[in-house]
Amino acid sequence: MEKTKHSAWSWIPTLYFAEGLPYFAVMSLAVIMYQNMGLSDKEVAFYTSWLGLPWVIKPIWSPFIDIIRTKRFWVLSMQGLMAAAFACIAFFMPTTFLVQGTMSCFALMAFASATHDIAADGYYMLALNPKEQSFFVGLRNTFYRCGSIFGQGVLVMLAGLLAEGKIFPEFKGNVVLSWTIVFYLLCAIFITLFLYHSRTMPKVEKTPAPCNNQSFRHLLEEFCKTVVSFFQKQHIGWALFFILTYRLGESQLAKIAPLFVLATPEKGGLGLSTTTVGGIYGTLGVIALLSGGIVAGIMVSRKGLKYWIIPMALAINIPDILYVFLAWIQCSNLWIITSCVVIEQFGYGIGFAAYMLYLIYIARGAHKTAHYAIATGLMAAGMAFPGMIAGWLSDNLGYTSFFIIVCLCTIPGILASFKIRRLLPAEFGKE
């Protein structure tokens, strides 16, 4: 075991960094990049929300990862594909078809990243025994969040500093070149990760036997039975309502908030620089979110999810009103803006922990791994589809009215949490 643990230290941190980075590149970095390129809120929100689709539907092709080649093969091949996608994004940046070219590459990278998630988590469970899996779970989550900080913090700040001429004065004002460099850097990072993991990830599985028509038909039948059994769970109607509405307000806020703080005061925004936004959301915001998650874990372990689910639902939703305040007065004080973002992200961290625990609860029983994948797919759908209309609302209503709508959209999720509380056992989540 000591030898396995030693080798695991060499690949787990970088594997989960590689899992987190492309997700936040697609869902956060792309939002700010397209805003810098002059796209409207409507266009940015609609295009980038569609990019979340692969994480919604990834349970559909996850069974085939088990029967076609090894998990290690899929991890390495998807990292190579993501490196190519980042290079293509950088290539298309200075062209006249920037949006079409980069969106195609982002879509390719999203499918590669979703497939990489499936393979990486499967490999983790194969390469480690249950005791080792428990030992490393905190490490993998930490480095996944490091991917978040690097993707929506460090890289955004780098793009801003380059465009402002603070690193290379000759780049000042050249937004396209600044983002081109960022994506070539991402390409280099994933080439390095591919080469590194090809040496450090041990071969722990044999290549599956070729899949014939009979085994394929059996797999398809089992997949359909698994999906049907999920929707036959007790109180599934209330569960689906909770999953799809709990973050209804947050799904729209998360898409527009960075665009709002970047927009000029003439357009109703706060006029912050790209560098500042990267520092606020990508570093301080992520730290606040992680802190909220830690606090939530301690709370639930002591009194259970049933006791805390209502306060946690309020924690994720009530702070959204801070954006109404910021938009109403068009606050220019950086400390006040930062404080509002940190409070909102801290509350989000607390509330999101309750949400993830409920997904674990609803996935209990037979096929719990597949049912959890279905639940997380529904979770992604609950973020993606409302996010598509968020930009249209903000463009047509203005930021103040939009954030008021966001606050109203939090009501169904809060009401759903009252019903879910009555259905939860008192002991779930303790210890």
Does residue 274 share a domain with residue 188?
no
Q: Which domain holds residue 102?
A: 1-201
Say if 208 falls within a structural domain. Answer: no
Does residue 266 share a domain with residue 232?
yes
Say if 215 falls within a structural domain. Answer: no
CA distance 353 to 309: 10
**Residue ending a domain, choose from 166, 201, 236:** 201
**Residue written as tokens 């590459």?**
105
Residues 352/379, Cβ–Cβ less than 8 Å: no
Give the pLDDT score at 18. 93
- 3 is written with which tokens? 């030898």
Give the pLDDT score at 411. 96
Return the amino acid letter for 138: G
Per-residue pLDDT of the chain (431 residues; tens, 9 = 90+): 444 445 888 898 999 999 989 988 888 889 999 999 989 989 998 888 888 888 888 877 777 776 777 889 999 999 999 999 999 999 999 988 899 999 999 999 999 999 998 888 888 878 887 777 767 766 777 788 888 888 888 899 999 999 998 888 888 889 999 999 999 999 999 999 999 999 999 887 776 655 555 566 777 777 788 888 888 888 899 999 999 999 999 999 988 999 999 999 999 999 999 899 988 888 888 889 888 888 888 888 888 889 999 999 999 999 999 999 999 999 889 999 999 999 999 999 899 888 888 888 888 877 777 788 788 888 888 888 898 899 999 999 999 999 999 999 999 999 999 999 999 888 887 75
Residues 309/421, Cβ–Cβ less than 8 Å: yes
Give the pLDDT score at 210. 59
Residues 31/255, Cβ–Cβ less than 8 Å: yes
Does residue 424 share a domain with residue 388?
yes
Does residue 9 share a domain with residue 62?
yes
Tell me how far apart the terminal alpha carbons of the chain are, to the nearest angstrom.
Answer: 27
Does residue 248 share a domain with residue 130?
no
Give the pLDDT score at 2. 43
Does residue 228 share a domain with residue 79?
no
E-state strands within 258-376? none
Say if 217 falls within a structural domain. Answer: no
The domain total for the chain is 2
- Stated pTM of the model: 0.83
Does residue 254 share a domain with residue 363?
yes
Residues 402/324, Cβ–Cβ less than 8 Å: no
226 half-sphere exposure, CB direction, 13 A CA radius: 22
**Residue written as tokens 């490490």?**
139
Say if 10 falls within a structural domain. Answer: yes
Say if 179 falls within a structural domain. Answer: yes
Give the pLDDT score at 3. 46
Does residue 123 share a domain with residue 270?
no
Does residue 135 share a domain with residue 24?
yes
**Residue written as tokens 């597949």?**
370
- 102 is written with which tokens? 């980069």
Return the amino acid letter for 291: S
Which residues does 175 contact at the CB level (< 8 Å), separation at least 6? 36, 37, 159, 163
Say if 213 falls within a structural domain. Answer: no
Does residue 146 share a domain with residue 26?
yes
Say if 209 falls within a structural domain. Answer: no
Q: Which CATH number characterizes residue 71's domain?
A: 1.20.1250.20
Residues 182/155, Cβ–Cβ less than 8 Å: yes
Q: Give CB contacts under 8 A, 24+ apart, made by 113-116.
A: 113/19, 113/22, 113/23, 113/26, 113/54, 113/78, 113/82, 114/54, 114/55, 114/58, 115/54, 115/58, 115/61, 115/65, 115/74, 115/78, 116/18, 116/19, 116/22, 116/74, 116/75, 116/78, 116/79, 116/82
Q: What is the DSSP letter of 264?
A: -
Give the pLDDT score at 211. 57
Say if 271 falls within a structural domain. Answer: yes
Does residue 84 share a domain with residue 37?
yes
**Phi, psi at 57, each rounded to 5°:** -105, 5
Does residue 193 share a domain with residue 105?
yes
- 421 is written with which tokens? 């509380």
Give the pLDDT score at 189. 96
